Structure 1
Amino acid sequence: MNPIEGHLTTRSPLHDILAPSGIAVIGASSDPTKRGYKAMVGLIKDGYRGDIYPVNPKADMILGVKAWPSVTAIPGNPALALICTPAASVPELIAECGRRGIKGAVILASGFAEIGGEGAALEQAMMDKARAHGVRIIGPNTSGIFNLHHRINLLALDNVRPGDVGIISQSGNMLLSLALEAQHNGQVGFSTYVGPGNQSDIGFNDYLRYLGEDEHTRVATLYVEGFRDGRKFLDVARDVTAMKPVVVYKSGSTEQGQKAASSHTGALAGSYAMTVDLLKQAGVSVVQYSDEILPVAEGLGLLQKASGKRVAVISDGGGQATIASDRLAEAGLTLAELSASTRARLREILFPQASTVNPVDVAGSTDANPSLLATCMEIVAADDNVDSVFLVGMFGGYSIRFAESLLGDEMRGAEAMVDLSKATTKPLVIYSLYTPVKPPALRRLHEAGLPIYASIEHAVRLLAALGERGHYLSASRGHRLTPAASRDPGSEDAIAGALAAGRDLLEPEAKALLRAHGVPVLEERLVTAPEQLSEVAAQFGQVPLAMKVVSKDILHKSDAGGVRLNLSGEAALREAQEAILASCHAYDPHAAIEGVLVAPMAPKGVEVIVGVSRDPIFGPVLMFGLGGIFVEVLEDVAFRAIPLSPFDARAMVDQIKARKILDGVRGEAAVNREALVALLLSVSSIVAAYPEIAELDLNPVIANADGYTLVDARIILDNPTQELPT
């Protein structure tokens, strides 16, 4: 396979490490309780075709293979070393590997950075040796690797089938769980597995790049506790998902889970909701529950994508059809509206009492001839309104439930379904309550590459992933990331002055920066002395005005009594200014107050928030949601990594649960969504241009049918120590 286009212009160096021509097992042993023994057994038992070099100074032969006293004594040129010795011995062994020309090392030992203190120092010493001698590190604290298509099994797992699911998992037990689940399934096989451990050198982005290029991998599957470089991972994921599906289960969805993940791996665990949004932005299929990992990975590997989210359900039981419909709606899928001709064709073959409105309920029509279910699938698959077909019920079990004589009909139905799967590009997904029994008809379907599920929920999760992937591939095609804005000299001066003074931008300065880059901002006046109020009153006339304090020390103006609304006339302005200053001085006697800002009241509309923060793992991230008090109460927000594409910006607006409010409620007009999209893209380009911006907060922004009004703006600065990713 050619290297992935985009960020990845050269072939991954991991091919030489994960598919090596020779392997040195340092710490190889004849003791069955040792990992050095189990690794040797795995290589020998699976028929590894390369050279095996056991290293053990106390043995001449291990499991029938000549052993060597040291790494430097090895006569050949292994590309990979498996180090099974204690942590303290690792740095010098890495140096020996480098001197011998070994390209990569898998380090099983724990006791490194994940325990802090001396362990972190030991890991740094190991990495110093690795960099000095050109050795790439897998781990430390890794569960190991396998590459089944090259017969490399350094975990000595039994009965693991070669296949097309690649796995990177920070949990060895999670791999074991998936392997056992695959054994029970009987059809799922694996290509490559790596436990990244502490990711001291090689990280998730490197492994994903390898799986993206690997010809034996059709779907990359990752169990992630924490990323070291989330931005690089997103860049790689964006390229890989354009070619093949990527499935991620991200642990740490709760505060307790994040703490557990950190103590286990020493990795940073960021906001779960933010991480999920950013992964989806890159086209990744994120599963919420651990038991969804393998079903979704298998199904995506087999079917790849659906052209849309419209599903036709065919059922031989009303209850299960209802359950399927509920789960589909919850997953953001829709029941396809079948055409009149499709329904007419269904009525021709089904009993009169059958329902031909989606979900289709055959109502006993298939009891004597279950192959009719295949005919129903063929009919609905031909409907242009249908993107996926979901068969729900007891197919495969008719000969068990009713009569053995129905086995022939079921097998004919299975063959017809296999033929249909080859003739259509629309995914065919099957749930059968007889799946655990593995009857012949279901075995035939599974062997032919149709995903068969024992859970409606798992099947629906796959259908959702197929629809999401198809939508992402089609909708994001041609959308380019918004480039950074050209820096404005006046804004640069304001930022430099604020940094020199050790403060953030004041609100008027923040709004001036936004205005300089095309963001519409209302006309405002900064009032620094009472005598200016008469001029301000004349300037704005009878328009209702808002007044708020301007101070680097008061971030939450309302809490300090620093806001007054609906003011009209000079007297009201004077009274409001006095009240604001008095309240703010009482709130913080030491606050430096620059004055008050006076502006027309914003028109009526929906309050939204646009915010930016620089995440330590993912870099600059933009947030959008309901604003004002709702952002903290409802937490109904969407996240995207900067820079954004127009597709990303529209997806943010559509994602929030309160999007119906934007469409207008109780007679209110819908807000101008395109104006909000333009604002998000402008903020993205501004933040990309100014790495000095640590945080940006526009809250609230009043959105309405005419566009939006930016009411409040806050920009927090930071001296950038390096150029942030864009």
Structure 2
Amino acid sequence: MSTHDTAPAHRSPLHDFLAPDSIAIVGASADPTKRGYKAMVGLIKGDYAGRIYPINPKVPEILGVPTCPTLDDVPGAVDLALICTPAATLPGLIAECGRKGVKGAVILAAGFRETGAEGAKLEQQVLDAARAGGVRIIGPNTSGMFNLHKKVNLLDLRNIKAGDIGFISQSGNMLLALVLEAEHNGHVGFSTYVGPGNQTDIGFNDYLRYLGEDERTRVATLYVEGFRDGQRFLQAAREITPLKPVVVYKSGATELGKKAASSHTGALAGSYAMTVDLLRQVGVTVVHHSDRILPVAEGLGLLQQARGKRVAVIADGGGQATITSDRLSEAGLELAPLSEATRKRLAAILLPQASLANPVDVAGSSDADPEVLARCMEIAAEDDSVDAVFLVGMFGGYHTRFAESLLGGEMRAAESMIELARRIDKPLVIYSLYAPVKPPALRRLHEAGLPVYASIEHAVRVLQALGERGAYLAHQHGQPLQPGVTPIEDMQAMFARAQNEGRDLYEFEAKALLRAHGVAVAEERVAHGADELAAVAAHFGNQALAMKVVSKDILHKSDAGGVMLNLVGEAALCAAYDRIMTRCRAYDPNADIRGVLVTPMARKGTEAIVGVVRDPIFGPVLMFGLGGIFVEILEDVAFRAIPLSRFDAESMVDQLKGRRILDGARGEAAVDKTALVDLLLKVSSIVSAYPQLSELDLNPVIAYADGYAVVDARVITNRAVVSG
């Protein structure tokens, strides 16, 4: 099923050498233990139809193929070079590739930046040579590549089928694991595989674009240890995911890109959870268990998407129906509410003891007639409230469990399911406890493109992926990203002053920036000395006020005793001022104190936090969560890359585990979510317009039933960017 008919605007140059018509094996060997020999075997035994040029000055031929002493001696053009020689030889060999017009080079050798400074220097020399000669580099430190539809198998892998799963993996062992799993499955095949290695030249974003354009690939699958350019990958994924599914397994709950920042947001960003959120933002399906990579890739490749998350379960056992219900709920899926008409149709073909609620337990109705299961699936699929149908139980094994004569009925049921899948636009997913033994009916389903799983958990993860992809395509794709605001001259000048003074924005300056661009910030006054407090008191009258120290050197005001609350009248303000000055000078005698900030006390509401960091991998990232002092303890936060769409902002609010607090838990009024979404979009626009802003922390933001108020704001400046 096609999801989109628009191809990316520019064809990837990787097609020129990932589907090569000629290959040179530099370092080809007659030693069966060497990669230069195995690559030759993989090409020859795999019936590669292109030209093979083994490069070896010491022997006249390898496996019956004449050798050439050097690349310069090759009689024809070379699309791809596989280089099997040590790291030190690479700068010269890549220069030779450039002179020969080689389009791409696979570098197997290790010993580059992963080994330290000297290796990094050598890697840069290789890259310089490649760019000078117009050669693209796969690796170095790569496991290699294959393109099975082109019959290019440089890894000499056996018993591997050509198929529609493209795989990019930083782990060669993970490739082997999936190849063995696919061999056991018997129906799954691969299109292109590449080990990106150090990503010196070609990164994950480039490979994703290639797989997105490759007509032989229906699902792009990636095992990622680390992105080098997360922003470019997110942009590529945003373009490719509407065309075909993208599955990513991100290894490790790493803290890549995390830095020791002084803000709450900086402390939470750079996490594994952040990476997952950003990938999902652009339509990527993220799997957290390595044994689910292939099942999810297969299911998405075959079925593409579901229009929603409402699942009808047809089961022939009550226990597994209950387990399935639990797993569906945990995955955020719903048991579809079957209509009364659907229940009546089911009742007409099932025994009286059958359960007609979802999950539908046929309760023995299929024991003597497995075709009943196919009829139940058809009835459920025709219900408008159902987005996907999930068959759970022992289908395929009825002729083994009950009577051999039931094999014919199972085969007829399988054909009915296949016909149903062709007729409806809803995914049918099958779990069978007999899947490991591959009985005839299940083999027939698999051959026809219906996925069959031996694990309820794997099948549910596929249903979850299908539903999430459908929701993304329905709501996110095509939504405009929030443009940046027009920078204001006064705000630019304010940033320039702070940067020239080597400091971050004062709180009142940060709030001025927000207020200037439409963010709801409470009124405030700055008193530079005690003599200005009378005017401040007169301005605010009998309101209860908060007073906070203004100092570039005191980052955590409460820790320094620099905050006083519930102050009313001039006398209270003067006493609080003296106390704050005494405490803060004791806390840091050398602190540069510029006065105090006075603002009305915020009324009671629900605390939230909004933050921004400029992540070194993914660029500007926005965070939203429940705020106050618990944010770093609970870590119930959502992340999105800037700029945001409205769907991004709405989904951030809905993603929180504590969202019921926002909906009005324990009799409290529900907060104005629309106002919070508007705040997130405004912050996204401000960050897009001011590169001088490095980090931002709004904590707390008090959310009300009728809006919000930003109570505290901090902006960390980018000292490297000075406004002109």
Provide TM-score, normalisation by structure 1: 0.96
Q: Is the 8 A contact 1:5 1:239 kept in 2?
A: no
Q: For residues 531-573 of structure 1, give each alpha carbon's deviation from its aligned partner in whole angstroms, at most 9, with x where no partner exists.
A: 2222222211111111111111111111111111111111211
Partner of 2:263 in structure 1?
A: none
Q: How far 1:255 sits from its partner (Å)? A: 6.0
CA distance in 2, matches of 1:478, 1:632: 34
- The residue type paired with residue 368 of structure 2 is A
Partner of 1:265 in structure 2?
A: none
Q: How does 1:100-111 map to 2 (within 5 A)?
A: 100-111=100-111
Q: How far 1:719 sits from its partner (Å)? A: 3.4
Query: Does the alignment pair 1:426 with 2:438?
Result: no
Partner of 1:263 in structure 2?
A: none
CA distance in 1, matches of 2:98, 2:413: 60
Partner of 1:515 in structure 2?
A: 515
Partner of 1:563 in structure 2?
A: 563
CA distance in 2, matches of 1:257, 1:712: 26
- The residue type paired with residue 349 of structure 2 is I
Q: How far 1:256 sits from its partner (Å)? A: 11
Partner of 1:48 in structure 2?
A: 48
Q: How far 1:335 sits from its partner (Å)? A: 0.6
Flag the 1:33–1:695 CA change in 2: closer, same or farther, 3 A: same
Q: How does 1:527-606 map to 2 (within 5 A)?
A: 527-606=527-606
Q: Is the 8 A contact 1:106 1:137 kept in 2?
A: yes
Give the share of equivalent positions with the same residue, in percent. 71
Partner of 1:312 in structure 2?
A: 312
Q: Is the 8 A contact 2:102 2:135 kept in 1?
A: yes
Query: Does the alignment pair 1:164 with 2:179?
Result: no
- The residue type paired with residue 663 of structure 1 is D
Q: Is the 8 A contact 1:603 1:709 kept in 2?
A: no
Partner of 1:239 in structure 2?
A: 239
Single out whichever of 579-588 and 284-293 deviates more from structure 2. 579-588
Partner of 1:325 in structure 2?
A: 325
CA distance in 2, matches of 1:87, 1:177: 28
Q: Is the 8 A contact 2:255 2:270 kept in 1?
A: no
CA distance in 1, matches of 2:636, 2:5: 36
Size of the aligned set, in residue pairs, is 713
CA distance in 2, matches of 1:35, 1:416: 49
Single out whichever of 554-563 and 146-155 deviates more from structure 2. 554-563
Tell which has more relative contact order, 1 or 2 (C-alpha 8 A, sep 6+): 2
SS in 2 for 1:666: helix
Partner of 2:265 in structure 1?
A: none
Flag the 1:233–1:5 CA change in 2: closer, same or farther, 3 A: farther
Q: How does 1:122-271 map to 2 (within 5 A)?
A: 122-254=122-254, 270-271=270-271
Flag the 1:210–1:721 CA change in 2: closer, same or farther, 3 A: farther
CA distance in 1, matches of 2:576, 2:634: 32
Partner of 1:346 in structure 2?
A: 346
Q: How does 1:467-506 map to 2 (within 5 A)?
A: 467-506=467-506
Query: Does the alignment pair 1:275 with 2:275?
Result: yes
Q: Is the 8 A contact 1:533 1:570 kept in 2?
A: yes
Query: Does the alignment pair 1:376 with 2:382?
Result: no
Q: Is the 8 A contact 1:251 1:258 kept in 2?
A: no
Q: Is the 8 A contact 1:287 1:293 kept in 2?
A: yes
Q: Is the 8 A contact 1:251 1:257 kept in 2?
A: no
Partner of 2:656 in structure 1?
A: 656
CA distance in 1, matches of 2:119, 2:158: 33
Query: Does the alignment pair 1:364 with 2:364?
Result: yes
Q: How far 1:478 sits from its partner (Å)? A: 3.4
Q: Is the 8 A contact 2:306 2:469 kept in 1?
A: yes
Query: Does the alignment pair 1:290 with 2:287?
Result: no
Q: How does 1:677-696 map to 2 (within 5 A)?
A: 677-696=677-696
- The residue type paired with residue 232 of structure 1 is R
Q: Is the 8 A contact 1:25 1:36 kept in 2?
A: yes
Q: How far 1:584 sits from its partner (Å)? A: 1.2
Q: For residues 477-515 of structure 1, give each alpha carbon's deviation from its aligned partner in whole angstroms, at most 9, with x where no partner exists.
A: 331000111001110010011111111110111111111
Q: Is the 8 A contact 1:625 1:631 kept in 2?
A: yes
Q: How far 1:285 sits from its partner (Å)? A: 0.2
Flag the 1:563–1:432 CA change in 2: closer, same or farther, 3 A: same
Flag the 1:309–1:317 CA change in 2: closer, same or farther, 3 A: same
SS in 1 for 2:444: helix
SS in 2 for 1:150: coil
List runs of 5+ in structure 1 lacking aligned partners. 260-268
SS in 2 for 1:560: coil
CA distance in 2, matches of 1:522, 1:711: 7
Flag the 1:722–1:482 CA change in 2: closer, same or farther, 3 A: farther
Runs of 4+ in 1 over 2 A off after TM superposition: 3-6, 254-259, 719-723
- The residue type paired with residue 84 of structure 2 is C
Flag the 1:31–1:583 CA change in 2: closer, same or farther, 3 A: same
Q: For residues 413-472 of structure 1, give each alpha carbon's deviation from its aligned partner in whole angstroms, at most 9, with x where no partner exists.
A: 111101100011100000000000100010010000001000000000000000000000
CA distance in 1, matches of 2:642, 2:605: 27
Q: Is the 8 A contact 1:4 1:212 kept in 2?
A: no
Q: Is the 8 A contact 2:257 2:270 kept in 1?
A: no
Provide TM-score, normalisation by structure 2: 0.97
Q: How far 1:529 sits from its partner (Å)? A: 1.4
CA distance in 1, matches of 2:478, 2:10: 23
